[in-house]
Amino acid sequence: MPTQCSQEELDLGSSAKRKLVGAFDGGAITSNGGVVLLAAADRSIKLTDRLARCFTDLRFTDAVTHSVADLLRQRIFGIALGYEDLIDHDALRHDPALTAVLDKPGGRLAGKSTLNRLEHAGKIGLDRHHKLDHDGGAIERLFVDIFLDAHAEPPSRIVLDLDATDDPLYGEQEGRHFHGYYDCYCYLPLYIFCGRHLLAAKLRTSSVDAADGSVGEVARIVAKIRARWPSTTVVIRADSGFCRDDLMTWCEANDVQYVLGLAGNRRLVARIAPEMRKARRKAKRTSQPARVFADFDYRTRKSWSAKRRVIGKAEWTKDEANPRFIVTNIHAAHGPARFLYEDVYCQRGEMENRLKECQGDLFADRTPAPTMRANQLRLWLSSFAYVLMCAVRRIGLAGTKLEKATCGTIRLALLKIGALVTISVRRVKLAFASACPMRDVFLLAARRL
């Protein structure tokens, strides 16, 4: 009589004269055991609950299985765990660890179709299946609120970094445009950071200038910061793509300091010619790169409305001149030329690492939806995944070997770990590997969060 069940056993060779076999019969095992840290961080800063209040839900209450907050948790946790596409959730919805942290142990989460209706907002009244919408202004304000709440006391000074980057497109998305510098069809999102904190992620078509809309975004963010921290000094920092008269004029009128890159030209290069000769003589004498700084007032012939302080770096390196310039409204008494260039402006390069985390680790450049509104929401969801990972790093990992780790490293070390999930009447247990290399860090983060 044939057996009622059969088990496929994999022959994997041998081990110490024993047969080495394998089978998919381990039970409820997950590779996402570290999702409990994401859930704890979410509870700590109340991210998804606050984000859910930015949405409108017109579904029939009696027919709702998955709340907006749960849909947002599932999507944001999924991105942080490395699942960038909605189709991934057809399998992820059964993950025993993810279902456990979303209060559905042993159950099922939303599938890709339900999550798709969350992200394709703005179709209310056009499609009977779409009954969810979001308030973009409220979502933008939430980024700044979370940043403010992360500080126990107002800082005396903060630096806001602005930058634009490319988001390549491979379809016929709304707003697609060919960008000559990036040599592709893309969006050109605007990001604003304060250290590791993300304050804005604005999706834009690449047909605009890099600084387009920056005055409005800066004004909105600074107003909200000053409402909470009226005595905090605000400094704007960006490369030469943001050296625009309207941004500088706004900063000067609103008591905001700025340190911006300035594209060189013949007039500027001629102005620092004496300093360049000094740098060249010093480099020849020492056989090392040399730099001398010039500090002077300058005004463009047409584009600037006033004279402004310009700092020129006259550098001689690799047997050639390497002139660079910045413009600032910080008085010389509060910021010497070398200090402003080397210790303030050059530190903006750290923002490039934040952009790599958002786009490389958390898929902020996954914008395949046909409308810019839907793609903007996808950008925000990836951005909130970054905010959540920052909360794990800031609260749980301070003082550990991972306190400065990237989101990708934290994912590999702490989130993508195996666990056996068992469900009983009184508890849900995740049994992690005894030999987990990051056991001590994980335990410390879990207790803190």
Which tens digits make up the pLDDT trace of 7-63? 688 888 889 989 898 888 788 899 999 999 999 999 999 999 999 999 988 888 888
pLDDT at 413: 96
For 317: left if phi > 0, alpha if psi spans -120 to 50, otherwise beta; the answer is beta
Identify the pLDDT of residue 1. 42
Using CA atoms, how far apart are residues 340 and 277, in angstroms rounded to an integer?
A: 22
- How much of the chain exceeds pLDDT 70, in percent? 96
| 306 contacts: CB under 8 Å, gap ≥ 6 | 249, 252, 299
Could you read off the pLDDT of 316-357 as tens digits, one per residue? 999 999 999 999 999 999 999 999 999 999 999 999 999 999
* pLDDT over threshold 60, residue 407: yes
Q: What is the pLDDT of residues 408-420, one digit of tens each?
A: 999 999 999 999 9
- Residue 122 has a pLDDT of 63
Distances 256 to 175, 236, 252, 335, 408 between C-alpha atoms, Å: 32, 7, 6, 15, 34
**DSSP symbol at 361:** I
**pLDDT tens sequence across 126-159:** 666 678 889 999 999 999 999 999 999 999 999 9
pLDDT of res. 5: 47
Return the percentage of the chain with pLDDT > 90, whole number: 86
The whole-number pLDDT of residue 316 equals: 95
The pLDDT tens digits for 163-220 are: 999 999 999 999 999 999 999 999 999 999 999 999 999 999 999 999 999 999 999 9
CATH number of 137-357: 3.90.350
Rounded CA separation 151/178 (Å): 41
The pLDDT assigned to 264 comes to 94
**Average of per-residue pLDDT values in the chain:** 93
Question: What confidence score (pLDDT) does residue 331 get?
Answer: 94
Tell me the sheet residues that pair with 308: 298
Band of pLDDT at residue 306, cut at 50, 70 and 90: very high
Q: What is the pLDDT of residues 214-257, one digit of tens each?
A: 999 999 999 999 999 999 999 999 999 999 999 999 999 999 99
Rounded Cα distance, 415 and 82, in Å: 10
In this prediction, residues 363-389 reach a mean pLDDT of: 95
Residues in Cβ contact with 354 at an 8 Å cutoff, skipping those fewer than 6 apart: 191, 193, 196, 198
pLDDT at 239: 96
Please answer whether residues 150 and 162 qualify as being in contact, where contact means their C-beta atoms are separated by less than 8 angstroms: no
Residue ranges of the chain assigned to CATH 3.90.350: 137-357
pLDDT above 90 for 265: yes
Distance CA 369, CA 385 (A): 19
| Longest pairwise C-alpha distance within the chain | 99
